[in-house]
């Protein structure tokens, strides 16, 4: 898709990570660290190619900065995309908004065009699915029934039961599997999120509604993503998140109502272009997928997860 470009437009390339091992198994993944499947890596390469084509057609630079969650599947997605872009990712975990280091050359003519800073934050993590994490969606649907299942899964206020971290989090770095019936477990937070846990202002969740995802993500959007876009007059950036974190970004940027957001479904591995007006406080202009037909088909598959078996 070709659009009329303007120097007054800031472009966000939003992307839900490529297919993960647990997406493939129709399992609620949440904060479990599932890796990409081969299909997921191919989706990431294809997404990079679509973005390259769009940038070339619209005389737009490749993304100048990238953002991911702290979960492996988004990191693998953006690293695979950087390979296609022929850029070297410079990874940095953000646990304090005041401790971001982009390098003196960022945003200047001295910038190393082969490098791209990638800021990683727990605030872009998938919604925490509480005790539903690691559970197969058809089994949860059967246990809760269609109405309650869809309310918890899709409604803005819907929230699963909290996780019991003593049972559903890996207690030792080398622990494999579980003797308590949970085949898939969340990484030990004291190890994986050591930096975040050292910041006493951060409280990591044990279950979340979409409202709570919006609440924890909005400060990062305002104080990091949009602030840096203004500060360095960026033309574009790349954000690789998850179904719920991408939905949350759209809700904030586009002003989607609490009721309408439940009808927004995000497919894996298809770039969504969001344009913001630099002359009007980075106000939302429009959004569109770079592969709209595939996005429509795969978004419908996302909505039906739990009701039909994955192919």
306 annotated binding-site participant: no
The token pair that represents 183 in the structure block: 């085949």
19 annotated binding-site participant: yes
Q: What are phi and psi of 88, to 5 degrees?
A: -100, 115
303 annotated binding-site participant: no
Q: What are phi and psi of 178, to 5 degrees?
A: -155, 145
154 annotated binding-site participant: yes
212 annotated binding-site participant: no
Among 130, 36, 48, 148, residue whose Cα is nearest residue 89: 48
278 annotated binding-site participant: no
289 annotated binding-site participant: no
128 annotated binding-site participant: yes
- 9 Ramachandran zone, left/alpha/beta (phi>0; psi -120 to 50): beta
Active site residues: 17, 126
286 annotated binding-site participant: no
73 annotated binding-site participant: yes
216 annotated binding-site participant: no
Instruction: Report, in this order, helix, strand and coil percent for the chain, each rounded to 5.
Output: 40, 15, 45
Residues 207, 129 contacting (CB under 8 angstroms):
yes
238 annotated binding-site participant: no
Among 197, 201, 198, 199, residue whose Cα is nearest residue 187: 197
Strands 236-241 and 283-289: unpaired
Among 114, 32, 118, 115, residue whose Cα is nearest residue 77: 118
157 annotated binding-site participant: no
Cα 170 to chain centroid distance, Å, stands at 23
173 annotated binding-site participant: no
Give one DSSP letter per residue of 179-240, joined into a string.
SSS-SS-BPPHHHHTHHHHHSTT----SS--HHHHHHHHHHHIIIIIHHHHHHTT-SEEEEE
257 annotated binding-site participant: no
Which residue ranges are tagged as binding site? 16-23, 73, 126-129, 137, 153-154
Binding residues for substrate: 16-23, 73, 126-129, 137, 153-154
């Amino acid at each position: 898709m070709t659009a009329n470009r303007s120097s007054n437009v800031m472009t966000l390339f939003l992307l839900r990570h490529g297919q993960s091992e647990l997406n493939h198994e129709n399992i609620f993944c949440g904060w479990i660290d599932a890796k990409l499947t081969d299909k997921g890596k191919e989706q990431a390469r294809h997404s990079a190619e679509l973005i390259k084509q769009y940038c070339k057609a619209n005389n737009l630079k490749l993304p100048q900065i990238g953002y991911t969650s702290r979960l492996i599947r988004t990191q693998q997605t953006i690293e695979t995309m950087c390979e296609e872009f022929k850029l070297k990712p410079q990874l940095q975990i953000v646990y304090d908004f005041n401790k971001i280091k982009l390098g003196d050359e960022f945003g200047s003519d001295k910038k190393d065009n082969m490098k791209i800073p990638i800021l990683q934050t727990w605030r872009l993590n998938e919604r925490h699915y509480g005790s539903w994490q690691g559970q197969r969606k058809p089994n949860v649907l059967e246990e809760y029934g269609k109405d309650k299942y869809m309310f918890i899964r899709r409604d803005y206020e819907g929230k699963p039961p909290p996780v019991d971290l003593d049972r559903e989090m890996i207690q030792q770095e080398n622990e494999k599997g579980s003797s308590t019936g949970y085949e898939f477990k969340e990484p030990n937070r004291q190890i994986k999120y050591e930096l975040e846990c050292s910041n006493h202002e951060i409280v990591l969740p044990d279950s979340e509604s979409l409202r709570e995802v919006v609440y924890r993500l909005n400060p990062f959007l305002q104080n990091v993503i949009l602030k840096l876009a203004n500060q360095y007059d960026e033309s574009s950036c790349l954000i690789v998140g998850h179904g719920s974190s991408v939905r949350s970004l759209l809700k904030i940027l586009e002003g989607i109502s609490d009721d309408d957001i439940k009808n927004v479904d995000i497919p894996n591995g298809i770039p969504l272009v969001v344009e913001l007006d630099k002359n009007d406080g980075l106000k939302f202009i429009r959004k569109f997928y770079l592969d709209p037909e595939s996005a429509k088909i795969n978004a419908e598959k996302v909505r039906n997860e739990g009701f039909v078996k994955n192919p």
